[in-house]
Copies of this chain bind each other. A is one copy, B any other.
Amino acid sequence: MYLLVAGLAGSGKTTLVANYSRWLRENGHNVRVVNLDPGAEIVPYKPDFDIRNLFTVSQIMKKYGLGPNGALLKAGELLLEKSDEVLANPAFKPYDAIVFIDTPGQLEVFMFRVEGRKFVRKLMRRAPTVVVFLVDAQLCNNIGDFISSWALGLFLQIKLDIPVIPIINKIDLVGEEERKLIEAIVYEPETLKEVIVKKLRGLNAALAEDLVKLVADYQQSMRPIMVSALKGDGFEDLFSVVHETFCSCGDLS
């Protein structure tokens, strides 16, 4: 099965892939790791497949005479063009391991464009596929930021028609008060009103409240979870939720 790791730039995707894949291995699971980010500078794990062996964003800039914007879009096109070759690599064999896939640093370039969606469709046709969607806990210092970033996971769900497991990451970097605020947003949307009204203006306070309710109603996983990708907090929780989600859409071998 495929476990796609997604999230806004800086949400901790690569750290999660590195540390959670090691944790899974230590707990007896067969895991392979794929890097699909052609713009990554440093990858702190040893990938079984690395898209950068086919192309990098820097190479595309030179080869096609493009700036960074154009090259990022071109990279998405190339990924789709070469998808049969990519998926033929043994790292993508879906039934003997959990195949962990680290996605491009810019969520927009991959998940919000037609090329990324088509690539994900190809994965879904081969084996059960689930997205782990990371949100940076530190965003809760601005409630509009946190709620909108958290709700982005729903957009992936509707765009890709795929189960999305939302994860609040970097929980080790927030204080007790912020952790309580996040718990309120994530677990008790109905008690949020007071907090939101204090922090946002009229119409946007009501919007924030409705958006939180929408996420609570529609997220497909059993419960959102809090982890520290860096320190390993919450990895057992994450495994249970991933397991539950795979069981509802296919086997977790």
Interface of A toward B, CB cutoff 8 Å: 8-10, 37, 39-41, 56-58, 61, 66-73, 105-109, 112-114, 117, 142, 144-145, 147-149, 151-152, 154-155, 157-161, 200-201, 203-204, 206-208, 210-211, 214, 217-218, 220
CB within 8 A of A157: which of B66, B72, B109, B207?
Answer: B207
With contacts A39-B69, A109-B9, A109-B106 taken as known, whether A145 is within 8 angstroms of B117 at the C-beta atoms is yes
- A201 — which chain B residues lie within 8 A by C-beta? 161
Question: Could you give 8 example pairs across A and B, Cβ below 8 Å?
Answer: A8-B108, A9-B69, A58-B67, A61-B68, A108-B108, A112-B148, A151-B155, A157-B207
- Report the nearest B residue to A57, measured CB to CB: B68
The reply to whether A155 and B161 form a contact with Cβ atoms under 8 Å apart is no
The reply to whether B142 and A148 form a contact with Cβ atoms under 8 Å apart is no
- Report the nearest B residue to A158, measured CB to CB: B144
A195–B119 CA distance with the chains assembled, in angstroms: 25
- Report the nearest B residue to A215, measured CB to CB: B207
CB within 8 A of A200: which of B56, B70, B151, B161?
Answer: B161
With contacts A69-B9, A72-B106, A106-B109 taken as known, whether A211 is within 8 angstroms of B208 at the C-beta atoms is no
The reply to whether A71 and B68 form a contact with Cβ atoms under 8 Å apart is yes
The reply to whether B69 and A41 form a contact with Cβ atoms under 8 Å apart is yes
- A37 — which chain B residues lie within 8 A by C-beta? 69
Across the A-B interface, give the 9 residue pairs with the lowest CB-CB distance, nearest first: A69-B105, A41-B67, A148-B155, A39-B69, A57-B68, A108-B108, A39-B68, A207-B218, A68-B68
